[in-house]
């Protein structure tokens, strides 16, 4: 077995796993035989108040309608349905707070009460069908309740990661014209209580015409929190005044469920729109089959934050639609020390664990001895998401955490796809470390060249042919648009292969020797830092927002730990050039944290006298990436002034 040739390795499921798996090879055949009938069958695992008769209407492409004449209530499907089926006593959430000992288990019956109360509270406060609600919260059960309550009354939630700055929150509230914000007084971060609500105050105070009528505040840390009379309300006080009875209304399948802002190639994040029936269908289907969920016995844990799409689909909607029992953990992996994740796995006897390659690489640095101090024998399936997983990390994951037994599913998808698209089926697929393998049953993807011709599976491993990853058929959980900007939706995703009518994902990929897909990462100006998606333009615009910066160029450079790292090159204005470079770099990193989030702080900022540009004035990021990664420069023939690099290298 060679380290350099993961294509030659193959990890089949054990015969026992295969024999008991939810998904067998027959699923591919079923989908192949009649794709729409297949999706109809998946959709019918849900409860429809009005059954659908039409599966897909693609006549308005690229705007799809799935199960268009059906009606359902998403929250009813995620909560009430399980209580009515007699599973009210099943734990829905084992919540584990960051401070050790701060834990709470919530059954489906209790979750139903909470969601009903919150739905009544929203209704009383004038929030209803089609309204937008911003949710800016840590990983606490109330965040899940808030999302489900919005779904229940037909309001769209827009969850904003609680690590985002006030400025980023403001931009998202403004764009969505949110009527309400739900937040908490503070959050625990690495052992300390930090305020959160003041970020909301700051976001709202900077708004000219503020759409927000109320701010609901959950008490999490008890820290002193200023409240604005007439606008701000304590969550617990409101929840105490309302009934736990609430009759859910059924909404059209295409009624929007949520907005989720994500970075694209411009400086302005876009609000990806997801709708109800199709999204819930594919979320539940993938969660059931890719994770082989046995709702009666499994304890599932997805370590993502609800601020990202993984938290939406694989903490809230997929698992709850399937009646799963899951762990919801508030903190970071190293709080209070490196043992925490392994202790949590042991404490709840977690059977299915879904995390990001960056977390796995962190564990690798801590060393296997630490992991082996813990009993992880409950684990029976491991998953990975967010960026390409390097074969070494994949093997370590399976070997050290999975005891060479568990299937490892590398799942490829995006905020826009809503749910997993390319992934092994754990009871069927012989996995190769680092490959997401094949499109799931019901999903169609291709790797094509510039002209849209499908690439041939590489005849030999390490084959050169790399191309664009496209999705050539609509899928139920596909995004339905960019909030308030249909043109941007078409331009961003559907223009590259407009003639063929394909969705271009922004990723490069190649086929392996058995026709499996190897996703290589973004080929646009989007960076992937520890699985967080950040656009170069967004960081550049934060940098030039600083009074001392004349120009900025940002690139993502390969980083062994975070996948990619942000490297910035800035030209200072004359008056700022007098300042010490060290002070300036410090200020600029703080500026990026203030404008976007600490997660977007560049690893390196180089003050340079010039930037490499083409004759038409376009910054040549490709060459800057060569510099950042210490490589020989690629083709410089279109560069206006080839000497610019001597100056950049001298400054670096």
Candidates 411, 477, 492, 562: give the one binding ligand PRX (CB under 6 A).
Answer: 411
5 is in an annotated binding site: no
Q: Which 3 state secondary structure label does DSSP give 549?
A: strand
522 is in an annotated binding site: yes
DSSP code of residue 439: B
- Closest-approach residue to ligand PRX (CB): 415
Closer CB to ligand PRX, 56 or 147, in the complex: 147
DSSP 109-122: HHHHHHHHHHHHHH
Q: Which of 374, 364, 315, 388 is nearest to 342 (CA)?
A: 374
Min separation Cβ 419 and ligand PRX, Å: 9
Sites for ligand PRX among residues 105-134 (CB under 6 A): none
Closer CB to ligand PRX, 253 or 411, in the complex: 411
242 is in an annotated binding site: no
- Which residues neighbour 650 within 8 Å (Cβ) at sequence distance 6 or greater? none
Stretch of 84-92, 290-298, 518-526, 583-591 contacting ligand PRX, by CB under 6 A: 518-526
Phi, psi of 300 (to 5 degrees): -105, 145
What Cα–Cα distance (Å) separates residue 244 from each residue in 31, 81, 109, 110, 241? Answer: 41, 16, 11, 10, 10
Is 387 a binding residue for ligand PRX by CB under 6 A? The answer is yes
Is 493 a binding residue for ligand PRX by CB under 6 A? The answer is no
Q: Which of 550, 520, 547, 536 is nearest to 600 (CA)?
A: 536
Candidates 99, 211, 295, 521: give the one binding ligand PRX (CB under 6 A).
Answer: 521
Candidates 528, 530, 562, 564: give the one binding ligand PRX (CB under 6 A).
Answer: 528
Stretch of 233-241, 494-502, 517-525, 621-629 contacting ligand PRX, by CB under 6 A: 517-525
Is 158 a binding residue for ligand PRX by CB under 6 A? The answer is no
Closer CB to ligand PRX, 385 or 458, in the complex: 385
Helix (H) / strand (E) element for 133: namely: strand 132-136
- Partner residues linked to 646 by β-bridges: none
Q: Which of 408, 461, 455, 459 is nearest to 436 (CA)?
A: 408
Closer CB to ligand PRX, 62 or 323, in the complex: 62
Phi, psi of 276 (to 5 degrees): -90, -65
338 is in an annotated binding site: no
Which value, in Å, is the radius of gyration of the alpha carbons in the chain?
24
Helix (H) / strand (E) element for 182: namely: strand 180-184
549 is in an annotated binding site: yes
Closer CB to ligand PRX, 221 or 384, in the complex: 384
Closer CB to ligand PRX, 120 or 597, in the complex: 597
One character per residue 300-329, x = contact with ligand PRX (rule: CB under 6 A): ---------xx-------------------
Is 393 a binding residue for ligand PRX by CB under 6 A? The answer is no
Is 282 a binding residue for ligand PRX by CB under 6 A? The answer is no
Candidates 300, 413, 468, 489: give the one binding ligand PRX (CB under 6 A).
Answer: 413
Q: Are 67 and 136 in contact (CB under 8 A)?
A: no
Where do runs of H (alpha helix) occur along 270-313?
Answer: 277-290, 309-311
Q: In what order do the strands lie in the sheet with 156-159?
A: 232-234, 214-218, 180-184, 132-136, 156-159, 256-262, 270-275, 481-482
Stretch of 163-171, 186-194, 405-413, 478-486 contacting ligand PRX, by CB under 6 A: 405-413
Distance CA 315, CA 309 (A): 9
Is 536 a binding residue for ligand PRX by CB under 6 A? The answer is no
Stretch of 22-30, 213-221, 245-253, 504-512 contacting ligand PRX, by CB under 6 A: 504-512
Is 81 a binding residue for ligand PRX by CB under 6 A? The answer is no
Min separation Cβ 389 and ligand PRX, Å: 7
Is 492 a binding residue for ligand PRX by CB under 6 A? The answer is no
Where do runs of H (alpha helix) occur along 459-572?
Answer: 486-489, 536-544
172 is in an annotated binding site: no
192 is in an annotated binding site: yes
Is 262 a binding residue for ligand PRX by CB under 6 A? The answer is yes
206 is in an annotated binding site: no
SS (H, E, C) 575-634: HHHCCCHHHHHHHHHHHHHHHCCHHHCCCEEEECCCCCEECCCCECHHHHHHHHCCCCCC
Is 507 a binding residue for ligand PRX by CB under 6 A? The answer is yes
Candidates 6, 256, 506, 602: give the one binding ligand PRX (CB under 6 A).
Answer: 506
Distance CA 583, CA 604 (A): 13
603 is in an annotated binding site: no
One character per residue 216-255, x = contact with ligand PRX (rule: CB under 6 A): ----------------------------------------
Q: Are 356 and 388 in contact (CB under 8 A)?
A: no
Candidates 414, 444, 466, 500: give the one binding ligand PRX (CB under 6 A).
Answer: 414
205 is in an annotated binding site: no
Distance CA 320, CA 108 (A): 9
The site for ligand PRX (CB under 6 A) is made up of 262, 309-310, 385-388, 410-415, 436, 505-507, 519, 521-522, 528, 533
Feature table: binding site:
189-192, 310, 386-388, 410-415, 507, 522, 530, 533, 544, 546, 549
């Amino acid at each position: 077995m060679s380290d350099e040739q993961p294509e030659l390795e193959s990890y089949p499921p054990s015969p026992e796993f295969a024999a008991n798996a939810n998904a067998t090879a027959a699923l591919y055949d079923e989908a192949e035989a009649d794709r729409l009938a297949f999706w109809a069958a998946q959709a019918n695992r849900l409860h429809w108040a009005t059954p659908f008769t039409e599966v897909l209407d693609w006549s308005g492409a690229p705007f799809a309608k799935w199960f268009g004449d059906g009606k359902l209530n998403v929250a009813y499907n995620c909560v009430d349905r399980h209580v009515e089926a007699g599973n009210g006593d099943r734990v829905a959430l084992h919540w584990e707070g960051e401070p050790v000992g701060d834990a709470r288990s919530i059954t489906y019956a209790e979750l139903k009460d909470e969601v009903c109360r919150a739905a009544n509270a929203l209704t009383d406060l004038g929030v209803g069908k089609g309204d937008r609600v911003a949710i800016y919260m840590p990983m606490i059960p109330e965040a899940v309740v808030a999302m489900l309550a919005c779904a229940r009354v037909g309001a769209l939630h827009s969850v904003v990661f609680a690590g985002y700055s006030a400025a980023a929150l403001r931009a998202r509230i403004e764009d969505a014209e949110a009527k309400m914000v739900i937040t908490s007084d503070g959050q625990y971060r690495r052992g300390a209580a930090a305020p959160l609500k003041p970020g909301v105050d700051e976001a709202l105070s900077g708004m000219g015409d503020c759409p927000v009528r109320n701010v609901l505040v959950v008490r999490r840390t008890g820290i002193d929190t200023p409240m604005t009379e007439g606008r701000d309300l304590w969550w617990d006080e409101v929840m105490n005044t309302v009934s736990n009875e609430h009759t859910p209304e059924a909404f059209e399948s295409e009624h929007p469920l949520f907005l989720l802002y994500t970075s694209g190639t411009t400086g302005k994040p876009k609000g990806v729109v997801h709708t109800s029936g199709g999204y819930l269908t594919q979320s539940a289907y993938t969660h059931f089959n890719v994770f082989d969920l046995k709702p009666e016995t499994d304890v599932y844990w997805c370590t993502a934050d609800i601020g990202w799409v993984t938290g939406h689909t694989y903490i809230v909607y997929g698992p709850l639609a399937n009646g799963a029992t899951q762990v919801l953990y508030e903190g970071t992996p190293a709080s209070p020390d490196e043992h925490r994740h392994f202790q949590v796995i042991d404490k709840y006897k977690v059977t299915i664990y879904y995390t990001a390659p960056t977390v796995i690489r962190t564990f690798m640095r801590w060393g296997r001895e630490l992991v082996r101090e813990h009993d992880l024998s409950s684990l029976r399936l491991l998953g990975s998401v967010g960026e390409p997983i390097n074969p070494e990390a994949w093997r370590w994951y399976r070997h050290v955490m999975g005891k060479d037994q568990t299937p490892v599913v590398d799942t490829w998808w995006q905020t826009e796809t809503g749910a997993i698209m390319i992934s092994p089926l754990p009871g069927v697929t012989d996995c190769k470390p680092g490959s997401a393998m094949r499109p799931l049953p019901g999903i169609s993807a291709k790797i094509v060249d510039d002209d849209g011709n499908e690439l041939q599976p590489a005849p030999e491993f390490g084959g050169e042919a790399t191309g664009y990853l496209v999705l050539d058929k609509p899928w139920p959980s596909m995004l339905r648009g960019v909030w308030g900007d249909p043109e941007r939706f078409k331009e961003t995703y559907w223009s590259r292969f407009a003639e063929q009518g394909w969705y271009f994902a922004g990723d490069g990929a190649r086929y392996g020797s058995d026709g499996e897909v190897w996703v290589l990462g973004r080929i646009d100006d989007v960076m992937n830092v520890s699985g967080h998606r950040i656009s170069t333009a967004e960081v550049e615009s934060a940098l030039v927002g600083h009074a001392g910066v004349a120009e900025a160029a940002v690139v993502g450079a390969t980083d062994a730990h975070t996948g990619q790292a942000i490297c910035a090159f800035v030209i200072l204005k004359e008056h700022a050039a007098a300042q010490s470079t060290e002070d300036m770099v410090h200020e600029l990193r703080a500026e990026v944290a203030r404008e976007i989030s600490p997660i977007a702080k560049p690893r390196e900022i180089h003050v340079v006298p010039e930037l490499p540009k083409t004759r038409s004035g376009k910054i040549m990021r490709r060459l800057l990436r060569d510099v950042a990664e210490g490589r020989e420069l690629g083709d410089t023939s279109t560069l206006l002034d080839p000497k610019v690099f001597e100056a950049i290298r001298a400054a670096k």
